[in-house]
Chains A and B, each alone.
Chain A
Amino acid sequence: MRNWKGKIVLILLAAGLVLLGCGQEAPKPQAKKASEAKPEAAKPAAEKPAAEKPAAEKPAAEKPAAEKPKDPAAEAKSDPPAKAGEKTVIIGFTSSKSGKFKTEGGRQINGLNLWMEQVNAKGGVKLADGTMVKFAFKDYDDESNKDRVQELYTRLINNDKADFLISPYSSGLADASAVIAQQYNKIMITTGAASDSTYKKGYTLIYQAYTPASRYLTGAVDMLAKLSPKSKKIAIIYEKAKFSQDVVNALKAYATSKGFKVVLFDGYDKDTTDFAAFINKIPPKTDAVMGGGHFADTSTLTKQLYEKKVNAKLFAFLVAPPEPKFAEIGAACFAVVGPSQWEPAAKYSEEAAKAAGMTWFGPSVQEFDDSYKKKYGEDPSYHSAGGYAAALILQAAIEKAGSIDTDKVKKALDDMNMMTFFGVTKFDTGKDNHGLQAGHDMVYIQWFKDPKGEFVKKIVWPVAAASAKPFVCPAR
């Protein structure tokens, strides 16, 4: 009796394996096709990259890689044989459609998709040689998981032949993907990733759209000094992840330099849901509690602080407060301050760009806000804006370079000094910090209660961008 059951199980498993083995043949023929396409691609359409091929020997291995994607990609997307006047550029990325970054990641994808819809609707981008380039995305769900990110980006580059890359959401994941991008010589625009440390590693092709982490919470200290000049004590509870650690290290240094005393500096592991131990450690009469990490943990921390009736003059946390979804925690969100990369009430405009001597590119703040609301039925948060902005930056660079060649686009990015609805974009091109965002600034929002009893957020800092005055958190 045991024998036949065993046989059936083995036959099933063997059959499954055979099917899988057959299923996996697809990449090989494509690889062969691509290598055959290599000499052919040198002749038609792309004259410039062909001229560059004999010129540079070391990047030669990578240049044909930049050409390779055109043929199978063009065959896949437009009609075979590829018309000389049209091309599809594939932008690859992973997004957090599930897992703990689902909220922020979802907003980011929305922004990206809105951009693609708008740019393709206008017919695409025109290159210097007259080719019209349309864009297509190839994306996977990274499940907010780092090992999947490295597997998937390798796949995006090798199997899906992505031409350009956008990072996943969160500094940790972006850092993991940046290695892969640089290894295979692909330009990557990072968004949703603020950690400074990624840009200290000697990369040359990774560009940051967000304001770096080190500038995130320094404004909160200034705000505290103005609101409550006698305050001295700050407690910092933060997530032990690259991004938040960069933020709070800079915060601690800044606060100490301004005469404040950091009375608590404790980090929690990712996936923590029980903050009781940390909250209990906050000394009485602390003036401000700052820190946090990403959306899920920061919301929980804020909620538990409220439930435990912790009193402070200022609560300033990362990532969660600027998200409209933050209001779902109810009364706990009242008076909480958060730094934001962008708000719908932002005052960037073409006039402001001219006044500052920069180029202006892309839709206005109002146009972005309206089209986003129309497509998704929700207010955009800075994560949505960041997603859109990353692709917009790439578009601007391609237009300026007039080509989709990696080296030319890289030069355009290095030279970039522009303002968009998202703010200023200018990259640090020094050897130590190549790709770090140097031009963009943060604004701070605070949650108010409107006459109807609903919670709304308003920009309260810096004064030049503010639409309301900040206030001290009432006693609980």
Chain B
Amino acid sequence: MVHQLINSLTDGFLLGFVYGLAAMGLSLIWGVMSVINLAHGPVITVGMLATYLLFVHVGLNPYLAIVVVAGIGLVLGLIIYITAVHRVISAPHLSSLLATFAVNMIILGIFNAVFGGDQNNIDFSLGSLSIGFLNVTYSRLLAAVGAVAVTVFLYLYLYFTRTGKSIRAVANNREAAELMGIPSTRVLALSFGLGSLLAAVAGSLISTIFPFTIFSGGPYELKSFVICVLGGLGNPLGALLGGLILGLMEGLIPIWMPTSWVPVVEFGLFVFVLVVRPTGLLGAK
């Protein structure tokens, strides 16, 4: 029983970092421009697909591919912002929700046409680390490390570079930032790109652990919503914390209940937090 607990906790904890990374992208976009990005799932899928394709066709090590995937995510985010989101950024929420959802459909539709719905697997097995009864696969370990590394980079960027500070300024108060001479449109586009970057990298890390299909981004998008609400929409640190909580929950709940009850608890908690404390555990923004 103890063995099971420790193994589950470790597995869940490590995966939680990756969940948190995925959710951070969503949280950042919400925090900066009050847009809930419903195209989040497909961007995660883009990360997974890109890593897979680079591995299979170019032979690039999936962990090195993260850098390339980050670039792809950034560019994709910029494109999505410029085509879909910019026009509706000041419109009622419904418009931006639907606009990003339309982008979701378009990306999925194109992928479905080009790649089909089959499962893909990155055959990059690294074996596992065994400490006594604790068995952790290296891929999960490295994914967690990767997630933490990217989070650190994000913080360094947001707090120690000029563009990072302008992003925080726009998040705080867009009009005031404009008055101070910050080109808000560029900053908004950049933030969207950054959010997509985080999502794509998370997807890349996930693909090193699990097989995926082009529709795999969906469940992670839903998990990201749960995490953001738990941690507080707009608060990236909250997203990380929420991710860890979710990961731990996923590891612990199956010990006492049939594993398929996990989503019930997850979404039940989601609705509960939304209703009782919409600002989340750490407070929004």
Asked if chains A and B are in direct contact (CB within 8 A), the reply is: yes
Q: Does B258 contact A (CB under 8 A)?
A: yes
Q: A280-B4, A309-B128 are in contact. Are A143 and B117 (CB under 8 A)?
A: yes
Q: Does A146 contact B (CB under 8 A)?
A: no
Distance between A217 CB and nearest chain B CB, rounded to angstroms: 20
Q: Which of A271-329 contact B (CB under 8 A)?
A: 271, 273-274, 276-278, 280-281, 284, 296, 300, 303-304, 307-309, 328
Question: What separation, in Å, do the CA atoms of A102 and B213 have in the docked complex?
Answer: 12
Distance between B153 CB and nearest chain A CB, rounded to angstroms: 26
Question: What separation, in Å, do the CA atoms of A83 and B116 have in the docked complex?
Answer: 42
Residue of A nearest to B5 (CB): A280
Question: What separation, in Å, do the CA atoms of A268 and B260 have in the docked complex?
Answer: 6
Residue of A nearest to B216 (CB): A273
Question: What separation, in Å, do the CA atoms of A309 and B125 have in the docked complex?
Answer: 13
Q: B260 to A240, Cβ gap below 8 A?
A: yes
Q: A98 to B117, Cβ gap below 8 A?
A: yes
Residue of A nearest to B4 (CB): A280
Q: A100-B119, A276-B11, A307-B137 are in contact. Are A281 and B128 (CB under 8 A)?
A: no
Question: What separation, in Å, do the CA atoms of A274 and B130 have in the docked complex?
Answer: 19
Q: B259 to A268, Cβ gap below 8 A?
A: yes
Contacts of B118 in A (CB 8 A): 98-100, 102
Question: What separation, in Å, do the CA atoms of A276 and B251 have in the docked complex?
Answer: 8
Size class of the contact patch on chain A: 20 to 34
Within 8 Å by CB of B210, from A268, A273, A330, lies A273
Within 8 Å by CB of B117, from A100, A269, A300, lies A100
Residue of A nearest to B119 (CB): A296
Contacts of B7 in A (CB 8 A): 280
Q: Does B181 contact A (CB under 8 A)?
A: no
Q: B259 to A277, Cβ gap below 8 A?
A: yes
Distance between A285 CB and nearest chain B CB, rounded to angstroms: 12
Residue of A nearest to B213 (CB): A100
Contacts of B183 in A (CB 8 A): none
Q: Does B163 contact A (CB under 8 A)?
A: no
Distance between B51 CB and nearest chain A CB, rounded to angstroms: 15
Q: Does B8 contact A (CB under 8 A)?
A: yes
Question: What separation, in Å, do the CA atoms of A265 and B137 have in the docked complex?
Answer: 24
Q: Does B250 contact A (CB under 8 A)?
A: yes
Q: Does A144 contact B (CB under 8 A)?
A: yes
Q: B213 to A278, Cβ gap below 8 A?
A: no
Q: B8 to A277, Cβ gap below 8 A?
A: yes
Question: What separation, in Å, do the CA atoms of A267 and B211 have in the docked complex?
Answer: 19
Residue of B nearest to A237 (CB): B259
Residue of A nearest to B212 (CB): A273
Q: A98-B118, A276-B251 are in contact. List 5 more A-B contacts (CB 8 A).
A: A98-B117, A102-B116, A240-B260, A280-B4, A280-B255
Question: What separation, in Å, do the CA atoms of A263 and B125 have in the docked complex?
Answer: 29
Q: B128 to A277, Cβ gap below 8 A?
A: no
Q: B210 to A274, Cβ gap below 8 A?
A: yes
CB<8 Å pairs between A and B, sample of 21: A98-B116, A99-B116, A99-B117, A100-B118, A100-B213, A144-B117, A266-B259, A271-B219, A273-B216, A274-B210, A276-B8, A276-B15, A278-B259, A280-B4, A280-B251, A280-B254, A280-B255, A281-B255, A284-B133, A296-B211, A308-B135
Taken residue by residue from 200 to 212, chain A's Cβ proximity to chain B (1 for < 8 Å, 0 otherwise) reads as 0000000000000
Distance between B8 CB and nearest chain A CB, rounded to angstroms: 5
Question: What separation, in Å, do the CA atoms of A274 and B247 have in the docked complex?
Answer: 12
Q: A308 to B137, Cβ gap below 8 A?
A: yes
Q: B211 to A300, Cβ gap below 8 A?
A: yes
Q: Which of B123-142 contact A (CB under 8 A)?
A: 123, 125, 127-128, 130, 133, 135, 137
Overall SS of chain B's interface: mixed
Centre residue among A102, A144, A274, A300 by max chain B CB count within 10 A: A274
Distance between A284 CB and nearest chain B CB, rounded to angstroms: 7
Distance between B223 CB and nearest chain A CB, rounded to angstroms: 12
Distance between A13 CB and nearest chain B CB, rounded to angstroms: 14
Question: What separation, in Å, do the CA atoms of A274 and B14 have in the docked complex?
Answer: 13
Contacts of B213 in A (CB 8 A): 99-100, 271
Contacts of A330 in B (CB 8 A): 123, 125
Contacts of B212 in A (CB 8 A): 273
Q: Does B3 contact A (CB under 8 A)?
A: yes
Distance between A120 CB and nearest chain B CB, rounded to angstroms: 29
Question: What separation, in Å, do the CA atoms of A269 and B259 have in the docked complex?
Answer: 9
Contacts of A278 in B (CB 8 A): 254, 259
Q: B137 to A269, Cβ gap below 8 A?
A: no
Q: B211 to A284, Cβ gap below 8 A?
A: no
Q: Which of B98-125 contact A (CB under 8 A)?
A: 116-119, 121, 123, 125
Q: B8 to A280, Cβ gap below 8 A?
A: yes
Question: What separation, in Å, do the CA atoms of A280 and B134 have in the docked complex?
Answer: 10
Residue of B nearest to A103 (CB): B118
Question: What separation, in Å, do the CA atoms of A35 and B15 have in the docked complex?
Answer: 62
Question: What separation, in Å, do the CA atoms of A277 and B121 have in the docked complex?
Answer: 20
Q: A267 to B119, Cβ gap below 8 A?
A: no
Contacts of B254 in A (CB 8 A): 266, 277-278, 280-281
Taken residue by residue from 240 to 284, chain B's Cβ proximity to chain A (1 for < 8 Å, 0 otherwise) reads as 000000000011001100111010000000000000000000000
